[in-house]
Amino acid sequence: MKIIIRITLLLIGIFNFMNLQAQFNPEKICRVENGQLIFTINLNWSEKEKQELEELFDLDSMLLVKVYSGKTTIGLDNEKWIVKRINSSLVELSKPVSSKSEKSIQLNDLFLVIDKWMNFTGKVNESSVIYGVNDFKIPYAFTYDKTKGQFYLPAFKSATNVYLSGSFNGWSTTQTPMKKVNDGWMIDVNLKPGKYTYKYIVDGKWKQDPNNQLSEADGAGGLNSVLFCSNHLFELEGYHGARKVVVTGNFYNWNTKGIAMNRTTKGWALPIYLRDGTYAYKFIVDYQWMTDPANPSFRKDGDGNLNSFLGIGEPYLFKIEGFTTANKVILTGSFNNWNENELVMNKTKTGWELPYVIAPGNYEYKFIIDGKWKLDTANPFTTGSGEGQNSFIALKANHLFELKNYQYIKDAIITGSFNGWSPNGYRMHKQDGKWIFPIFLQPGKYTYKFILDGTWILDPENILYEQNEYNTNNSVIWIE
């Protein structure tokens, strides 16, 4: 009997305790009533919930400390808050709705606030996609051959004009008119391997590609068609009797479902886009795993299994001259998260080298020679300063910052939106009487300035500039 009473008491206790754990519903915390802004606050909220309260409603942490300590009136920043006790766990914190604004606000702040409130998704960086395979209903809706993509729209025969608009032409509504052909419309576009999103514009109306089964949200309640320009063909000869052949690899997280290959006259094939890098893969033929018989490159995985592997993109040869008596030289950098063991360099007659495939981009790196970190002295481009100084390389650089007529400057730095305005950002190199800095920039807008011996200046050669939040100007470039 005692046990039953104890259990009952315990259950009542738990029930009461749970009851005290107040519901945290952001919809029900704040209201406006007769000109008063009122927050209903539960004194039993956890620290995490209090923090959320602070963040959602921009309440000062000092204000909440005072509320929780039982103060009934609180003055803060020229505003008077009243705390009213509702019951043992609830209080109402209130003040008049402020209908005045006392200060001009940086519009940047408001943009950030609205972006946060509206849940705007950031710009999707299409170059970060690792792999992709097309899925068209008819084979000729899109074809791709190394550099040229051909779009074919066998529909809308009676339309007056059809344009192609997508991520490859900055979503231009005017730049890419299609040509009328017998069954519809067609256009050739120069495209590099990669992922692209697009739509057709038929007599002014946006249309998804009716023959493309790949799509993604367009950020405006509709869908964009998605395609990939392939840079690799997986091929498996023979196995005509197989029911299903798929390929899987590290690009697909070794998912056993794999990506289905298509039947061809020779056997099986799959054109695929793979971002520059090194990949391990295997075919699965009717549930039987196998390496690629046509690919002589194999690599053992951690469990002793063999995988086929392939490199996409051109390798860059990292080299360091000398140090021939060193035992071990490691290449480390932002391309491998500064891993200090992974990339062991190969000894040559005169030094050390390592060919390594990485995607186009800007990278910082250093060599570790028998445990000692060293800059690449053959490379004049660096970032940072002192201990934090690293060698810098822009692979497949597509822009060159140049500064003429400043031969007598000792130190020239380029900084901007591309490196978070780091003041000891990218150190330029003086060559043939001018300062230069090659860089890889994704398409888009960038703002920047030069810092010459500590003095910030606009790019004197660039007529485009805009006012910044400090009421000075920043130079502006657009990368197509």
Partner 1 sequence: MRIRRIIFNSILNLRKNVYKNGHKIILFPMSILVLQFCLSFSILPSESGNHFPGYLLSYPITSIQANNYAPEFNLKSDTILIPLKRAGRLFLIEAKIDDQTGNLVFDTGANTLALNSTYFRDHVKSGGAVSNGITGDVGLVEQITAGKIEFSELSYKNIRADLVNLGHIENHRGVKILGLIGFNMIKNLEIIFDPKNSTLKLIRIDKKGERMNKALAEFKSDYSQKIEGNSNILFLQGKVAGKNLNFCFDTAAETNAISSDSNKSILNTLTITRRTTLKGAGSARSEVLFGRMNDFRIGGNPINGMETIITNLDALTEAYNTKTDGMLGYNFLEQGTFCINFVKKQFGIHFTKSEEK
Q: Is 108 in the site for partner 1 (CB under 8 A)?
A: yes
> Which residue from 158, 325, 337, 471 is in contact with partner 1, where contact means CB under 8 A?
471
Q: How far is the CB of 26 from partner 1 (least distance, A)?
A: 6
Q: How far is the CB of 480 from partner 1 (least distance, A)?
A: 10
What's the token pair of residue 359?
A: 């995607």
Q: Which is nearer to partner 1, 226 or 259 (CB)?
A: 226
DSSP-assigned letters across all residues of 254-297 = T-TT-EEPEE-SSEEEEEEEE-SEEEEEEEEETTEEE--TT---
**Judged by CB under 8 A, how many residues of this single chain contact partner 1?**
66
Sign of CA dihedral 32, 37, 38, 43: positive
**Pair 394, 358: CB distance under 8 Å:** no
Pick the stretch among 323-331, 344-352, 362-370, 462-470 that binds partner 1 (CB under 8 A): 462-470
Site string for partner 1, 62-101 (x = CB under 8 A): ---------------xx------------------xxxxx
CB atoms within 10 A of CB 54: 14
Q: Which is nearer to partner 1, 165 or 248 (CB)?
A: 165
Q: How far is the CB of 131 from partner 1 (least distance, A)?
A: 25
What's the token pair of residue 480?
A: 């197509």
Q: Map tokens 């190199």 to a residue.
A: 429
Whole-Å CA distances, 60 to 24, 54, 57, 68: 18, 7, 9, 13
Give the integer Cα–Cα distance in Å for 127 and 133: 15
Q: How far is the CB of 174 from partner 1 (least distance, A)?
A: 5
Q: Is 158 in the site for partner 1 (CB under 8 A)?
A: no
Q: Is 468 in the site for partner 1 (CB under 8 A)?
A: yes
Q: Which is nearer to partner 1, 77 or 387 (CB)?
A: 77
Pick the stretch among 261-269, 281-289, 330-338, 469-477 that binds partner 1 (CB under 8 A): 469-477
What's the token pair of residue 309?
A: 């592997």
**Pair 134, 142: CB distance under 8 Å:** yes
> Which residue from 218, 353, 402, 411 is in contact with partner 1, where contact means CB under 8 A?
218
**Pair 255, 285: CB distance under 8 Å:** no
Q: Which is nearer to partner 1, 115 or 145 (CB)?
A: 115
Pick the stretch among 82-90, 130-138, 145-153, 196-204 that binds partner 1 (CB under 8 A): 196-204
Q: How far is the CB of 194 from partner 1 (least distance, A)?
A: 18
What's the token pair of residue 449?
A: 């300035």
Q: Is 30 in the site for partner 1 (CB under 8 A)?
A: yes
> Which residue from 7, 14, 17, 120 is in contact with partner 1, where contact means CB under 8 A?
120
Give the integer Cα–Cα distance in Å for 370 and 374: 10
Q: How far is the CB of 217 from partner 1 (least distance, A)?
A: 12
Whole-Å CA distances, 267 to 136, 259, 271, 296: 20, 16, 14, 19
Q: Which is nearer to partner 1, 323 or 446 (CB)?
A: 446
Q: Is 125 in the site for partner 1 (CB under 8 A)?
A: no
Run of H or E including 225: strand 223-229
Of 158, 206, 208, 166, the C-alpha closest to 185 is 158
Site string for partner 1, 429-448 (x = CB under 8 A): ---------------xx-x-
Q: Is 165 in the site for partner 1 (CB under 8 A)?
A: yes
Whole-Å CA distances, 165 to 19, 147, 174, 191, 256: 57, 18, 8, 13, 36
Q: Is 236 in the site for partner 1 (CB under 8 A)?
A: no
Q: Contacts with partner 1 in 361-420 (CB under 8 A)?
A: 417
Q: Cα angle at 352 between 351 and 358, to 5 degrees?
A: 150
> Which residue from 5, 221, 296, 388 is in contact with partner 1, where contact means CB under 8 A?
221
Question: What's the length of the chain?
Answer: 480
Q: Contacts with partner 1 in 273-292 (CB under 8 A)?
A: none
Name the residue type at position 463: I
Q: Is 37 in the site for partner 1 (CB under 8 A)?
A: yes
Q: How far is the CB of 197 from partner 1 (least distance, A)?
A: 12
> Which residue from 14, 115, 341, 344 is in contact with partner 1, where contact means CB under 8 A?
115
Of 374, 378, 357, the C-alpha closest to 365 is 374
Q: Is 23 in the site for partner 1 (CB under 8 A)?
A: no
Give the integer Cα–Cα distance in Å for 123 and 405: 37
Q: How far is the CB of 113 from partner 1 (least distance, A)?
A: 5
> Which residue from 13, 14, 109, 128 is in contact with partner 1, where contact means CB under 8 A?
109
Give the integer Cα–Cα distance in Å for 81 and 474: 43
Pick the stretch among 150-158, 237-245, 298-306, 459-467 that binds partner 1 (CB under 8 A): 459-467
Give the integer Cα–Cα distance in Å for 271 and 360: 22
User: Which residues touch 419 (CB under 8 Å, ≥6 apart)?
Assistant: 383, 425, 426
Contacting positions for partner 1 (CB under 8 A): 26-27, 30-35, 37, 56-59, 77-78, 97-105, 107-111, 113-115, 117-118, 120, 123, 163, 165, 171-174, 201, 203-206, 218-222, 417, 444-445, 447, 463-468, 471, 474, 476, 478
